[in-house]
């Protein structure tokens, strides 16, 4: 900047604002800390108050990595989970988060409600519960696994083949904005993480591969 200012004959621009410093959290995973960090400025690991989406093929370790990151970051605080796949392995998550150093509670948004748990709770309600839990200072992170399995109320209630264009994307967008609002508010208090897990879905055939004859 000094050389550029000298050429232009101007003074360096200064921004006056009271903003919290961004904190970075390396986790001791050499490749990951450098892949997600800001190496040029000497920062390793994830920036605090982040919304992270892990995506890729099925069975490649996305959920394991998400729970490891969340468990490491939570420490003795609570980890909230929305298991939209309805296939949560409690013992496995406890093992992964324990290896990461987590000693707090793990709370999972209930699949059903009522005394006998017979009334299913919608995916929207489960996600909202996790998002709203982010305002609790005893909560360190939240994991939504996975947004690829999210089923909206409209999609669940409609007839097979009936169209409901854009509803699921809109709901995920609303959830993301709500999470971002929680994370921005958190910049002035306790630093937290929110993690989305998503799947890459490949079409089994393409137009070029199709024989129409």
CATH number at residue 192: 3.40.50.300
Find the mean pLDDT for residues 177-203: 63
pLDDT tens-place string over residues 12-36? 778 787 776 777 888 888 888 888 8
Range(s) of the domain holding residue 109: 48-199
CA neighbor of 82 nearest in space, from 138, 118, 117, 121: 121
Mean pLDDT (the chain, rounded): 77
Within a domain: 23: no
Is residue 145 in a domain? yes
Q: Are 111 and 84 in contact (CB under 8 A)?
A: no
What is the distance between the alpha carbons of residues 63 and 73, in angstroms, rounded to a whole number? Answer: 15
The answer to whether residue 71 sits within a structural domain is yes
- pTM beyond 0.75: the answer is no
The tens digit of pLDDT for each residue in 34-61 reads 888 888 888 888 877 777 888 888 888 8
Answer yes or no: is 39 within a domain.
no
CA dist list (Å): 127 to 50, 100, 157: 17, 24, 18
Would you call 8 exposed, middle or buried from its count of C-beta atoms within 10 A (0-12, 13-18, 19+)?
Answer: exposed
Question: What percent of the chain clears pLDDT 70, i.e. is strictly above it?
Answer: 74
> How many domains are there within the chain?
1
On whether residue 206 sits in a domain, the answer given is no
33: in domain: no
């Amino acid at each position: 900047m000094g050389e550029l200012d000298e050429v232009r004959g101007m003074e360096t621009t200064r921004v006056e604002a009271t903003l919290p410093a961004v904190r970075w959290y390396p986790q001791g995973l050499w490749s990951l800390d450098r892949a997600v960090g800001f190496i040029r400025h000497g920062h390793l690991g994830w920036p605090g108050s982040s919304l992270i989406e892990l995506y890729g093929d099925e069975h490649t370790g996305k959920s394991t990595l998400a729970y490891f990151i969340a468990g490491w970051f939570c420490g003795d605080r609570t980890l909230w989970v929305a298991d939209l796949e309805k296939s949560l392995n409690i013992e496995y998550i406890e093992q992964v988060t324990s290896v990461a150093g987590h000693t707090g509670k793990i709370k999972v948004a209930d699949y059903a409600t009522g005394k006998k748990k017979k009334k299913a709770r919608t995916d929207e309600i489960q996600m909202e519960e996790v998002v709203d839990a982010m305002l609790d200072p005893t909560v360190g992170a939240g994991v939504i696994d996975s947004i690829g399995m999210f089923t909206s109320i409209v999609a669940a209630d409609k007839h097979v083949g009936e169209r409901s264009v854009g509803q699921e994307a809109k709901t995920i967008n609303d959830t993301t904005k709500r999470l971002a609002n929680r994370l921005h508010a958190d910049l002035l208090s306790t630093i937290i993480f929110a993690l989305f897990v998503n799947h890459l879905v490949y079409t089994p055939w393409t137009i070029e591969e199709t024989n129409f004859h």
